[in-house]
Structure 1
Amino acid sequence: MTFSWRRRMGLRGGVGKNESSKGSNLDLEYTIPTHFRCPISLDLMKDPVTLSTGITYDRESIEKWIDAGHVTCPVTNQVLRNFEQIPNHSIRKMIQDWCVENKSSGVERIPTPRIPIHPYEVSEICSRILAATQRLDARKCLELLGKIKKLAKESERNKRCLVEHGMGVALASSFNSFACFSIDTHLDLLKEILSALTWTFPLEQEGVSKLKSNISLRSMVWFLKNEDDLSSRQNAICVLKELIYADQDCVDGLMEIEGIEENLFQIVKVPICPKATKATLMVIQHVMSFEEKSVIFTLRIIQMGLVSLILEILVDGDKSVCEKALGVLDSLCDRKEGRESAYENALTIPLLVKKILRVSDTATEFSISSLWKLSLGENGNAMVEAVQLGAFQKLLVVLQIGSVERTKEKVTELLKLMNLYRDKLDCFDSSMGLKYLKIRRN
């Protein structure tokens, strides 16, 4: 078996050779010993490990195999007695020596892999974080956080191990304790904890309980206000998004914080990055879904001009952000004030019609739902404009290609309303009237 190693002579001082010499050096094939290859990927092994069956694999490949639910050795098909992966230092050293021997031909030496973290090491670090937190030893906590981040960056396996063995709970407890003492005094530590918390979800309930406390929520909202620290603002909104989806009590806690509407509005108005914008839109939509609890929140954020901001996002936002923005607009149209604000903006109907069948199935459903809600208002011009923009034809397509039942019902109602204008508008093709449409009913 052979493995093709390609080197670029221009990067190694080879430019200037004659064409025949250059061509012969650009594509070189070397025979790799079979036992240097992973039996799964057939690539050169970077971190060879041996299973209980005695077969050696590259760690990344065999971990994917095991994570997929397999309990057998891929080569022997024997049931694994355990999933322990023992580093094969002999093979790894031989592979490295082979790479060194071929270095002059463009083969790079594989680095010596780091040993993955073990669950008992995670438990030990968590215990040390909690002990340092009890002493309010911020310096020690920062030191341990540095170690945690380094381990997490080394591999996804390390990150999973940290998450699965309680690191999120330890960090949540530490954040709550130091926030209770003083945000200003422990600002750097709280920033680092927030950054680490972004990849520890989903959290165990104990961790969620610590972060949904009044002081923890207020601390995260405090970070949202800090316009000079974009990274911490992004981390804070991402953690808040995970929290409110994990426990609805967090919504109650957020509603008690004065100025939360303004803080969320500003992140949408002055974007940090698509990730932060998307998280903020998800927080706003989720909060508004609790109608009885969020009436004041919704009214305030409408008065601030959220509808106009949403429409600006829809003009040039990417697919994922557009979906979230349409979801928020749909929720805003549940209220009379939201519909009135939508009517006042000339972009509303054109953008809703444009997004049908253009972004995704989810975006189409939100667009249709918003149009349906706007059609029920007192402003009859919305339907006239939608028809003029080709909404009728698009809705016919939606109905024919299929959609969820609630969307079908809204499409059918919209088509009936729009059909009333077929003889009144020049842009309306009478041959596509509702009487020619076979509406499927279950």
Structure 2
Amino acid sequence: MASARRTQKPSSRFSFVKRIPTADPTAELPVPAAFRCPISLELMKDPVTLHTGITYDRQSIESWLEVGSLTCPVTNQALGNDELLPNHTIRRLIQDWCVANRSFGVERIPTPRIPVTSIQASELLSEIAFAGRRGDRARCQELVGKIKALGKESERNRRCIGSAGAGCVLASCFSELATESFERSRAGAAEEILSALPLFFPLDQDSCRQLSSLKSLESIVSVLRSGDLDARVNAALVLRELLSSLPPRRINGVAGTDGLVEALSKLIQNPISPRATKASLVAAFYLVDSSDRAAGALVDTGIIPSLLEILVDSDKGMCEKALAVLDGVLGCSRGREMAYGHALTVPVLVKKMLRVSDMATEFAVSALWKLCRNEKRGGGCSMEAVRVGAFQKSLLLVQVGCSGATKEKANDLLKLLNGCRGSMECTEAVDFRGLKRPF
């Protein structure tokens, strides 16, 4: 065995061909050098040629250009024009070579789609803007469908169309076509725009300004209420993106849109998909975090029992978002009153104080602190919190360490709970079997 190893010395010369392992492990198939990308040295799937005359695989040369390289990798010539021309001749030769060698396990390279150019993207967006200004809903829907299909083809297309101003054009067009009343016969263009917008997130300031107009917001609310399933999901995603991009002062104005809070609450209470629920929770958080009026309105929709149900059994991301909204609505007195009357409130919050995430801990401690700090004399919230282990968990948080604001609230919570300890027996917060649910 040792002598066999000594005889297998590496070759002293470099191989000028890339070899592909085939179905037969004892055989190797040489790949012609002209078919290999000079950058990756792999078989080219989408050969393109620079003005220097050198052909590369599109993905490799685009990655080279994206990092700011301004020269041809082979010739080192300056790239004043970085237009990539598809090399159809090389591509066909590669495909023929693959077919000829399929018995060796080589799969045929599929014909690549030609990516959209910046000129094509700009022209298509100009047509969409023109159709929107004319109020031509049918033409607008058709063109937006094309831009959406191109964006879904590849990440490169999305970047190209987005950099051409897709977000602003689509938002402006949506504002032009927005109507307060939702009519199925006229809703197609608006729903198509809402389905295309998420492809080009994040939105810029001009896009957000268009979408935050009263007409646009009323149309979004109409879709949230009466649109089909996909349309409602897309409307929730657009609303989440809008609220996450606006300053608090502007969010306060958005919160006053008639029916907006109720529509979001309905998506949370009657979930249609995890994606829609998460988007609605994030949107609701931005609303309650910036507007006391929105927090009160959300409480009036009966959102608290639904939030607690979500928290009983949900993944990390959903849990964090539900806790954020719950903490927000507990900032108003009506929210606390409803929470005091629900059997799951304190046990769920105590359970989520640890072992979910730092963000979940922050919101859970804050929510429990608001409840215990504001309860009336003789209220049972603090006593129940001690019974299910809040004191021990707060003490652990203070000892182990947490963020500054959370540590202050945990310290304050220890003081609030200390008077209720006495000889009370503590139970594990995870044991909900003895609790009666009021629903």
TM-score (norm. length: structure 1): 0.81
Kindly report which structure 2 residues correspond to 1:41-440, keeping only aligned pairs within 5 A, or say none.
43-51=42-50, 56-68=55-67, 81=80, 83-180=82-179, 184=183, 185-226=185-226, 229-248=228-247, 251-291=251-291, 294-295=292-293, 297-378=294-375, 381-421=380-420, 423-427=422-426
State the number of aligned residues.
406
Does the residue aligned with 1:334 lie in a helix, a strand or coil?
coil
Does the residue aligned with 1:289 lie in a helix, a strand or coil?
helix
Deviation at 1:174, TM superposition (A): 1.9
What is the distance in 2 between the residues matched to 1:39 and 1:68?
A: 17
1:97 and 1:329, CA in 2 relative to 1: closer, same or farther beyond 3 A? same
1:387 and 1:290, CA in 2 relative to 1: closer, same or farther beyond 3 A? same
Deviation at 1:114, TM superposition (A): 2.1
| 8 Å contact kept, 1:194–1:236 | yes
1:308 and 1:96, CA in 2 relative to 1: closer, same or farther beyond 3 A? same
| 8 Å contact kept, 1:178–1:186 | no
**Which AA in structure 2 matches 1:370?**
A
| 8 Å contact kept, 1:214–1:253 | no
What's the CA shift string for 1:232-258, capped at 9, x where partnerless?
111111111212222346535544433
Deviation at 1:201, TM superposition (A): 2.7
- Name the counterpart of 1:2: 19
What is the distance in 1 between the residues matched to 2:188 and 2:42?
A: 43
- Name the counterpart of 2:8: none
Q: Which blocks of at least 5 consecutive residues in structure 2 are unaligned?
A: 1-17, 428-439
Does the residue aligned with 2:411 lie in a helix, a strand or coil?
helix
What's the CA shift string for 1:233-284, capped at 9, x where partnerless?
1111111121222234653554443332321111011111111111111121
What's the C-alpha RMSD, in Å, of the aligned pairs? 3.0
| 8 Å contact kept, 1:116–1:158 | yes
1:142 and 1:301, CA in 2 relative to 1: closer, same or farther beyond 3 A? closer
Does the residue aligned with 2:423 lie in a helix, a strand or coil?
coil
| 8 Å contact kept, 1:179–1:216 | yes
Q: Which blocks of at least 5 consecutive residues in structure 1 are unaligned?
A: 7-23, 429-442
Does the residue aligned with 1:328 lie in a helix, a strand or coil?
helix
What is the distance in 2 between the residues matched to 1:5 and 1:137?
A: 56
What is the distance in 2 between the residues matched to 1:42 and 1:314?
A: 51
Does the residue aligned with 2:20 lie in a helix, a strand or coil?
strand
- Identity across the alignment (%): 49
**Which AA in structure 2 matches 1:93?**
R
Indicate the larger mover: 69-78 or 379-388.
69-78
What is the distance in 2 between the residues matched to 1:150 and 1:112?
A: 18
What is the distance in 1 between the residues matched to 2:393 and 2:326?
A: 20
| 8 Å contact kept, 2:182–2:226 | no
**Which AA in structure 2 matches 1:237?**
A
Deviation at 1:196, TM superposition (A): 0.9
Deviation at 1:160, TM superposition (A): 1.1
What is the distance in 2 between the residues matched to 1:83 and 1:207?
A: 30
**Which AA in structure 1 matches 2:20?**
F
What's the CA shift string for 1:346-370, capped at 9, x where partnerless?
2112211222232221111111111
Deviation at 1:182, TM superposition (A): 7.5
| 8 Å contact kept, 1:47–1:58 | yes
Deviation at 1:155, TM superposition (A): 1.0
| 8 Å contact kept, 2:240–2:280 | yes
**Which AA in structure 1 matches 2:58?**
R
What's the CA shift string for 1:182-203, capped at 9, x where partnerless?
8535321121111112222333
What is the distance in 2 between the residues matched to 1:275 and 1:397?
A: 34
What's the CA shift string for 1:363-399, capped at 9, x where partnerless?
1111111122122022553333333333344334433
| 8 Å contact kept, 1:365–1:407 | yes
What is the distance in 2 between the residues matched to 1:371 and 1:166?
A: 45
| 8 Å contact kept, 1:183–1:190 | no
